[in-house]
Structure 1
């Protein structure tokens, strides 16, 4: 295949911003990176602004996008929010989920996201009846990501109980496979693809009985696949776990072989010092979702301590209160400033790494997340002359991206060397707002 050249007006190369960078791309990968190229080579595709590696959204529930605006009315808690979520989940079919997810993933591409980790537990029809294709809902998500042009890691989720020792309630029957062995048999039918990775997830220690945690972990290990788990998002989860098992959720996961370098704990909000040491000592990752954590009043997780202990950080938009990885990165730093009343817990470069390379690694795409030879040709370009980004010199592009830019500043998104978003327009879903409106109206109508 012929080499395509992209000329980047400015490029973030992991530690610095360089002007005039030419990328050679062939077969979906970067073949060469040339610095000091002052003018676009003949025939090059020109990307003006600051080009970054593609962003990785490490934690998504696509159907939660239909809750935006609805769950911000009035007050309440995580648990009252959950009741609204159940109502939306009950209305989805494979066809309507495809339409919604296609629009949501297009919104992600427009925000510079080139890979998503879809924490997928909406498996069955209402009442828990299996579809003729037992993975119809998961396949709808895979097809939606493909149409929207982004990579997907489908984190097929075991969700077996309503709580410690409690059977699933009527809402949760759609999520439940009965046992971890039955879950594993269904998940076995899902296959990796060029832009698809299949991983596993434990919804939470509330939703998977302790004696079945190792089954899920072993399935992921046998496939060398990512394994994610909601962890200590709520203090109520910690209290219930101690009452049932006499230990924290983190210790329970450790005792059943769940922690490790392929595992990512999502939220990791309410942890003890021992929990932090266990996660860091096993190099278990942490996915922070600050916009959701603040929207649901969950709290601020101990991200600096986790990273110091050895837990790599990634970022996710989770419930999609907003879809903006720049805001997630910014919020992680700014939330910590509010808690500690000190500044500068992470450099802009470190926050971008969480949004790019470390996020991709958490999703099983270690070959993505950098502008370097051999890497997947996934990158995004933000404007440096919008009302948000204008002013700072380009050499401060990383700081501008993290602390000033938003998803609205994304001009181009390239996945596998092909434009998915060009000049702010999605190639396959040119009217993404209408697609979102129609898909959400079909659920609420």
Structure 2
């Protein structure tokens, strides 16, 4: 049995609109066993004795952040795709060039460094949208899930939890063109063979779980969508899908199927309370109604959506339609959930030319509890008795946060202000440094190994 006690200068507790000062958090075997606000308390429990062995956490302590949508290997593109014009499709060609160079060893090294970078940013759980299944020529490794196993191992080294969203990716267009070139390694032939391979991967690591993903309506034929959805539902596993990210894909879906991608997914049973639609940048009003009626969640990835010039999704309309909002760093142009959270509000201001769409508490929920639930870890993302002891402490004395009231941290702080991170009660980051991974050095080496000359 391992126990620890932490005294947070400020802690953001569930249902509170702003942080609470002086909170004692007690942890046993990776779970929070007591949460005691001390300010204004009376009696011996508020005295010196109870604090003697408590470690102080100066700053604001929030629940662990959840990165709901990640493509770990995209991190190798940061700063390399910004010097010329283009759009999502031209960026994708550069991405495929990196994908073509990865093998289990180089992927393990890169993902370990990327996940450790996430830990430095206060991220305690990541959803990896994984479709690099096979060899570059499309042939299977001796272990058909070797690339997925590399990601599970990478997350263990980095000290964070992982939901591996095993992604079905079968065609290159909505009309059913076959995979070619670098895309060949993504495919399993059909959804039945995808399900057979995915079913064979059952990691026993306590930090990892397996979910499912439909890459998009252009990558999974309509008559095979239900196979993926049924696989996820039979396992009570999360199901994710890229949705309405690009006008071109939406237009092609209307031409081929006579309906929007959202309507097509609804027709084939993909939407539902365990489903998270990623992006939803260009929905119709009817799409939002369908998503809300099916209680589907939405993961917004604002830094990637702006980096790729995808557009600004109607976040407030989504929330008002009952869609649970979560956040992801997607292509890792930036790994900073504080930036993703405030971008939800700031993008709405650009879209509507009005201020004040989301409260700080709503943004906190999107970055924490809602995100963890979307990845199948509903017992995380809250500083509450019984929850996983994921605690992220943010400095209030940096050049960015000095003079900022704790409630304003999501509008001021960056990932660089994260000082300490506990994951399941274990310290992973202390004084802004990862305890086991030299993150800058490992990022540099692993990216150099997979970047085309």
- Could you state the TM-score of these two structures normalised by the residue count of structure 2? 0.96
Are residues 1:17 and 2:19 paired?
A: yes
Counterpart CA distance in 2 for 1:72 and 1:403 is: 26
Cα distance in 1 for partners of 2:103, 2:7 equals 43
**Residue 317 of structure 2 aligns to a residue in which SS?**
helix
Q: Contact 1:317–1:328 at 8 Å: present in 2 too?
A: yes
Tell me, what secondary structure is at the counterpart of 2:252? helix
Contact 1:123 1:176 in 2 (8 A): yes
Where does the alignment leave 5 or more consecutive residues of structure 2 unmatched? 39-45
Residue 157 of structure 2 is matched in structure 1 by 147
| Candidates 308, 312, 318, aligned match of 1:300 | 312
Closer, same or farther in 2 for the Cα pair 1:351/1:443, shift >3 Å?
same
Q: Give the RMSD, CA atoms, in angstroms.
A: 1.1
1:220-274 C-alpha deviation (Å, 9 max, x unpaired): 0000000000000000011000010000000000000000000000000111100
Secondary structure of the corresponding residue to residue 128 of structure 1: coil
Cα distance in structure 2, aligned partners of 1:315 and 1:154: 16
1:416 maps onto 2:428 in alignment: no
Give the equivalent residue in structure 1 for 2:43: none
Offset, 1:307: 1.0
Q: Using the alignment, how far apart are the partners of 1:102 and 1:59 within structure 2?
A: 16
Alignment match, 2:29: 27
Deviations 1:139-185 (A, max 9, x none): 00000000000000000000000012211112211100000010001
Cα distance in 1 for partners of 2:96, 2:295 equals 34
Q: Distance in 2 between matches of 1:59 and 1:443?
A: 22
CA-CA distance at 1:3 after TM superposition = 2.3
Distance of 1:199 and 1:48 partners within structure 2: 37
Q: Of 437, 440, 445, which aligns to 2:444? A: 437
Q: CA deviation at 1:38?
A: 7.9
* Shift in CA distance, 215/38, structure 1 to aligned 2, threshold 3 Å: farther
Runs of 4+ in 1 over 3 A off after TM superposition: 37-40
Partner secondary structure for residue 137 of structure 2: helix
Which residue in 1 is equivalent to 2:41? none
Instruction: Please say if residues 20 and 38 of structure 1, whose CA atoms lie closer than 8 Å, have aligned partners that are also in contact.
Output: no
Distance between the aligned counterparts of 1:398 and 1:109, measured in 2?
22
SS at match of 1:440: helix
Q: Give runs of aligned pairs for residues 204-223 of structure 1, distance below 5 A.
A: 204-223=216-235
Moved more, 141-150 or 20-29: 20-29
Aligned to 1:57: 67
1:350-365 mapped onto 2 (5 Å cutoff): 350-365=362-377
Alignment of 1:173-192 (within 5 A): 173-192=184-203
Pair 1:246 & 2:246 matched = no
Note the C-alpha offset of 1:11.
0.5
Which of 34, 59, 82 lines up with 2:92 in the alignment?
82
How far 1:2 sits from its partner (Å)?
3.8
For 1:13, what is the secondary structure of its paired residue? coil
User: Is 1:321 aligned to 2:333, yes or no?
Assistant: yes
Aligned match of 2:169: 159
Q: How far off its partner does 1:45 sit?
A: 2.2
Partner of 1:72: 82
C-alpha separation in 1, matches of 2:283 and 2:137: 35
Does the alignment pair 1:102 with 2:112?
Answer: yes
| 2: CA distance, partners of 1:151 / 1:198 | 11
CA displacement, residues 370-403 of structure 1 (integer Å, 9 cap, x when unaligned): 00000000110000000100013xxx3132x211
Counterpart for residue 137 of structure 2: 127
Q: Is the 1:228–1:264 Cα contact (8 Å) retained in structure 2?
A: yes
Paired residues of 1:280 and 1:307 also in contact (CA < 8 A) = no
Partner of 1:267: 279
CA shift, 1:306, in A, is 1.0
In the aligned structure 1, how far is the partner of 2:415 from the partner of 2:333? 13
Unmatched runs of 5 consecutive residues or more in structure 1:
none
Secondary structure at the aligned position of 2:277 is classed as strand
Which residue is 2:42 aligned to? none
Residues in 2 aligned to 1:38 and 1:67: alpha-carbon distance in whole angstroms: 53
How has the CA–CA distance of structure 1 residues 41 and 352 changed in structure 2, closer, same or farther, with 3 Å as cutoff?
same
Residue 4 of structure 1 and its aligned partner are, at CA, apart by 1.3
Number of aligned positions between the proteins: 440
SS in 2 for 1:131: coil
Residues in 2 aligned to 1:10 and 1:180: alpha-carbon distance in whole angstroms: 49
Distance 1:9 1:106 in 2: 26
Q: Distance in 2 between matches of 1:207 and 1:26?
A: 45
| Alignment match, 1:197 | 209
